[in-house]
Amino acid sequence: MKPKSPNIQNAADLSILHHALVGAAEEMGEALKRAAYSPNIKERQDYSCALFDAKGRLLAQAAHLPVHLGSMPASVHAVLAAMELRAGEVAVVNDPFAGGTHLPDITLVAPVFAGARLLGFAANRAHHADIGGAAPGSMAPQTDLIAEGLVIPPMLLRNARGARTQAFALILANTRTPQERAGDLNAQLAACDRGARRLVEIAARTGMHTAPLFAHSRRLMLSNIAKLKPGSFAALEYLEDDGAGTRDIAIRLKLTVSRRGLHFDFTGSAPQVRGGVNAVLAVTQSAAFYAALCFCENLPPINHGCFECIEVIAPEGTVVNARRPAPVAGGNVETSQRLVDVCLAALSQAAPGRAVAQSQGTMNNLTIGGASKDGTAFTYYETIAGGCGASTQAAGADATHSHMTNTLNTPVEALEHAYPLRVEEYSIRKGSGGKGKHKGGEGIVRRVRALGDAQFGLLSERRRRQPAGIEGGESGATGQNTLVGANGTRDDLPAKCQGELAPGQAIEIRTPGGGASGKQPTRD
Amino acid sequence: MGNRAAVRAAALGCSGALVGKQQTIAAIDVGGTFTDAVLLRDGKLATCKLPSTPEDPGLAVVQALAQLGGADLLVHGTTVATNALLEHKLARAALVTTRGFADVLAIGRQNRSPADLYALNPRQRDPLIARELRLEVHERVAPDGSIETPLQASEVARVVAQLRKLAPQAIAVCLLHSYANAAHERALGAALAELGLPVTLSCDLAPEFREYERSLVCAANAALAPRVGAYCRGLDRALGNTRLVLMHSAGGWLPAEIAAREPVKLALSGPAGGIAGVRAALATEGLAQGIAFDVGGTSTDVSLVSASNPLRSVTEISGWPLRTPSLDIHTIGAGGGSIAHIDAAGALQVGPHSAGAFPGPACYGRGGTQATLTDALVVLGRLPAQLKLGNQLVLQPELAKSALGPLALAESAKQSKGAGASATGALARAILRVALAGIERALRRVSVERGHSVAGTPLVPFGGAGGLIACDLAELIGTDNVLVPISPGLLCAVGMLHTPASRDLSRTVLLAQSRPALARVKSVANELSRRAVLELRACGLKGPFATQASLDVRYQGQSFELNVPLVADWRQRFDAEHERQFFFHRATAPAEIVNVRVRVSARHHAPVFKFKSPVGRPEPWCQSSSGEPVYAREELPTGFALQGPAIITELSSCLYVKTGWNLKVSKTGQLLLTRKKQMPETEVPGVAAKLPRQAARRRGRQ
């Protein structure tokens, strides 16, 4: 054979190892999705899978939702801090203050061995439809963590002999839907095993030299950051309220861009609040990582290397790094969106011409529960898309989920078949996007009528403060929640509330529009 | 979701078939570059390959058929519908829908494309029909089919008048829950007939629940109808006495009349032929399963092929998830034309950019200057310089080398050792390794998704470049067998000869499992089957027809379905399939029947090819630049065997037999490649030298 140029081989090895590891993470994801039971995992794809090296550094991740991006490494580190895992064992955790995010997100971590050598870890996270607590779905507004559901500190779910531990039974005993939970947890175990098997194969085939892999992502990330203007940039945003009496909750950021990387400092943000909109550090990190990736012209392979040059400072006891026992259910779904707004606002100051207007900045969480005609209980949960912000080049997309989420809707025909509900309107909310040179995306109007008695819960934001435009573009319209009577009366509902629906009453949600970019050209 | 496995007609080749034995059948597949034609006469295959005529694809079809001497029946695979969707060359269509839901097409499923997950400004989804052409009518049907708001005659008249004013070229009608009660859609359809435009009713085309997907497939169908309809009718006229039928995405053919009415079913018309060809090739060797593997210029198609002919319910084109039953073909964005480059941080990447069909790889000599996978294969000597692709294109290895040169030099300069030719060779091997890693990753994911294991499943390469990298890919996925069919470059066309007429119909029923439910399901199946037979007869096809009915079933509360045959023990089969695919089942949980499906297919003579083995011992007709012997496939007799490395060339494709692989010519003329058992674990090319060191290191640790 002819002599080889080592550099070319290295350049190829790098690419091949990346393909192999991401492929293995994707395979885990497919295995999890296939074996899972609940629609939330199968259809809405609210899960992530990842592989880590022996030091707990992220090798590759298959994520559908950016909100999982930075928070998986935290789970692995929490497990490693709590116990030493042996071959065959699998740990479980959902404690938001020990590696979790909010309680429904359950993470499994399995060690991977080649003989006696620890190669790394296979981990995955799935959003479970119920993990106990005061309300079905474990997502309703509460004022303490214990009311939100079962807290699982890092513990074994499977022992070295491959048997389920007592923790498995404990989890099932604390949920309203034990059979579904068992199915989903088994799927998560199967996904860990598949990831572990592939990691062993990849290590045998490639030798798995991870240092160049991390260095490559880090270099790419830094080359992206090098295109930003160095300096310090401040941004400030407010959450409207926590649903428990606190209003205008500040999220303050000082971003420093340097040749070494990005430094996000949230010092000065509001103290944690009574209502469940507190974010744990992992969620805040995810938002910062997501925002940084949005500004990458060449998206790096996502691994430990890209995060090496991103530092996140968030003082403990604040709404962006809450302390036990703060309730956190809404931290993931609402506060995370506001964190993105703050991060993007700061980053755009460092990237002239690449600013984007704000998107709807909420997930419009709606829960309706009650009894079906035959007396069985039903719980329906959905998030509703809205307008995206415009860029300096193009209008914002209409009726699309933005930033930290990207879950699918439930089709109207499926919903009406399954629940005693009628959807009367599902349309683009005309005129809700900000006006300007490039329009903000339009929000959605969704009106759902109850056919029988029902209870509802609403968790939404951007009902008072508009998604801002840029460069003279108008802001998007705020969202509106309305109770529509059987006779057509209309009463405003607060952004975060719970209540009863009589037969014939409807909830109408008008989701916020996106901000516009640039002044609207004046007509002659 | 829900994949679908319809059972293929078991008894083929009975007498009384719709196409008499005395008739000649031709099949023509139109691709981007070439139009491939095959004709079966007296068990012998005549072939013809002409350049495609993209401005009017029918020209090459008529020409190719004339060259083959004409036929009674022409099975045609076309990209007319696919390209119209890809290039958005769609008619100005209108949509009529229930009040409150005109924006369903614009809202979609609310998500952004996964490619836009980190986009600052995600793209707007394309609603396919503009807002001013989406009309609402005041009416409402409940999920159980009862009418909550009747459709008034005045409403119908208003919409017809409005459409007259808007003057669209075609109309789609999709009302909420119309699968449960089609009365309102039918009333609109009857009234709209007076406009004299193509009208697509969702209760006819796709009566399945989930309003976005149903609206979308109807909108796409309406928007395709004028162009595809004109193409089918024009070609039918031009063919005179030859009867024209078209391959549809689900792997059968439809009479031109039905295809013109339901053009969206032609979205995967061409690739469907390839799958039929692979299945036939596997069956000839007594194999039930294989991986079809087609490497094209810009993309690679892979599909797990088995006797059960698995279908999937959604095909995505141009970002539109089209709900129409299709063969399960997965496209990877890497092909022979994929361009290699070293990224900003020093990793070698192959794709996603492609040199496309024009200028194509540098070695084609049509002005391409960037290094592609094909150029790397030329540098490695796998594509001999003496070869003329499709008898026309002369390869220019020096152009391939100069395309790789700058990349190789840039890298070797940093290292200052290993320059010139050796650096180019190393780069070529590196490009091949990276391209294979990408294909392997996609193939593994697809197989996990579908609940199959790729290890041990034979690989069946076809298309131009599949054979050049098949051995490498087989090693990577852990399979020891590669099967190369006859005329792999014409496999799509050959496969069409194996394909029967078939009509797939379905309807959503959403019934909880019960005795009355089953009676209802059976009557729906009978109704669908009667309709399909009537339609096929109306097009002049004679029976007998075989019907397979199946059900999409789920456990109550789930949101995805599995397809099982409609048989007495369908419930047990569902549990078993759930166990196979998802590793658990719930025998006591209530099940729900979501959709009823039928496939009605005409009896079909499976063509029998007689392989006329050449005589004499074949000699290599040349040597490749790296010293491998090059054989012409038409000279290889039955039973002939050789050991790699070697290259086998034929008119439309090229096969590389790697070191460590044996080749044997089967009785039917197909090439069977087997990996030698005693070989140590071989790895991707280029790292073999490194392995022993690593293995030793591993052993040292134990």
Domain ranges of chain A: 6-208, 214-353, 355-524
Q: Which two tokens stand for residue A489?
A: 């009366």
From the list A5, A298, A391, which residue is nearest B418 (CB)? A5
Asked, for residue B405, whether it belongs to a domain, the answer is no
Residue A384 CA to residue B324 CA, distance in Å, equals 27
Which residues is B592 bridged to in the sheet?
Answer: B512, B554
Q: What is the mean pLDDT of residues A57-74?
A: 86
Task: Give the per-residue pLDDT at A386.
Answer: 98
Which domain covers residue B202, as residue numbers? 91-223
Of residues A123, A192, A341, the one with CA closest to residue A252: A341
Report domain A6-208's class.
Answer: alpha beta
Residues of A in contact with B582 (CB under 8 A): 34-35
Backbone angles phi, psi at B599, to 5 degrees: -120, 120
Residue B60 CA to residue A124 CA, distance in Å, equals 53
Q: Best mutation site among A42, A362, A400, A421 for testing chain B: the one with the most B CBs within 10 Å?
A: A400
- The confidence band for A524, taking pLDDT boundaries of 50, 70 and 90, is low
- For chains A and B, CB pairs below 8 A equal 257
CATH number where B156 lies = 3.40.50
Q: Which two tokens stand for residue B479?
A: 């399979």
Interface of A with B in 32-71 (CB under 8 A): 34-35, 37, 39, 42-43, 64, 66
Task: Give the per-residue pLDDT at B418.
Answer: 46
- The confidence band for A6, taking pLDDT boundaries of 50, 70 and 90, is low
Task: Give the per-residue pLDDT at B45.
Answer: 84
Q: How many domains does chain B have?
A: 2
Task: Give the per-residue pLDDT at B390.
Answer: 62
Asked, for residue B210, whether it belongs to a domain, the answer is yes
Task: Give the per-residue pLDDT at A219.
Answer: 95
Residue A318 CA to residue B577 CA, distance in Å, equals 50
Give the residue ranges of chain B where pLDDT is below 50.
Answer: 1-20, 416-418, 679-702
Q: Under an 8 A CB cutoff, do A424 and B100 touch?
A: yes
CATH number where B552 lies = 3.30.1490
Task: Give the CB-side neighbour count of residue B227, counting CA atoms within 13 A.
Answer: 25
Of all residues in chain A, what percent carry a pLDDT higher than 90? 79
Whether residue B544 has a cis bond before it, omega within 30° of 0 = yes
Residue A207: is its pLDDT beyond 70? yes
Q: How far is B585 from chain A (nearest CA, A)?
A: 10
Q: What is the mean pLDDT of residues A189-205?
A: 93
Domain end position, chosen among B223, B255, B283: B223
Task: Give the per-residue pLDDT at B220.
Answer: 98
From the list B111, B437, B583, which residue is nearest A401 (CB)? B111
- The confidence band for A523, taking pLDDT boundaries of 50, 70 and 90, is low
Q: What is the mean pLDDT of residues A480-493?
A: 97
Which residues is A501 bridged to in the sheet?
Answer: A454
Asked, for residue B679, whether it belongs to a domain, the answer is no
Asked, for residue B144, whether it belongs to a domain, the answer is yes
Residues of B in contact with A64 (CB under 8 A): 114, 117
Q: Which two tokens stand for residue B300?
A: 């690679």
Q: Which two tokens stand for residue A53?
A: 């090296």
- CA dihedral of B218, B221, B223, B225, whole degrees rounded to 10: -140
Asked, for residue B174, whether it belongs to a domain, the answer is yes
Whether residue B359 has a cis bond before it, omega within 30° of 0 = yes
> How many CB atoms within 10 Å of residue B393?
15
Residues of A in contact with B120 (CB under 8 A): 294-295, 344, 354, 356, 391
Query: Residue A141 class from Cβ within 10 Å (0-12 exposed, 13-18 middle, 19+ buried)?
Result: buried
Residues of B in contact with A298 (CB under 8 A): 343-344
Residues of B in contact with A115 (CB under 8 A): 701-702
* Residue A345 · residue A237 · CB < 8 Å: yes
Query: Residue B637 class from Cβ within 10 Å (0-12 exposed, 13-18 middle, 19+ buried)?
Result: middle
Tracing tokens 């002659």 back to the chain, one arrives at: A524
Asked, for residue B398, whether it belongs to a domain, the answer is no
Q: Under an 8 A CB cutoff, do B110 and A7 touch?
A: no
From the list B103, B434, B560, which residue is nearest A12 (CB)? B434
A408 interfacial to chain B (CB closer than 8 Å)? yes
Residues of B in contact with A19 (CB under 8 A): 434, 437-438, 440-441
Mind listing the pLDDT tens digit for each residue in A250-275? 999 999 999 999 999 999 999 999 99
Q: Under an 8 A CB cutoff, do A8 and B408 touch?
A: yes
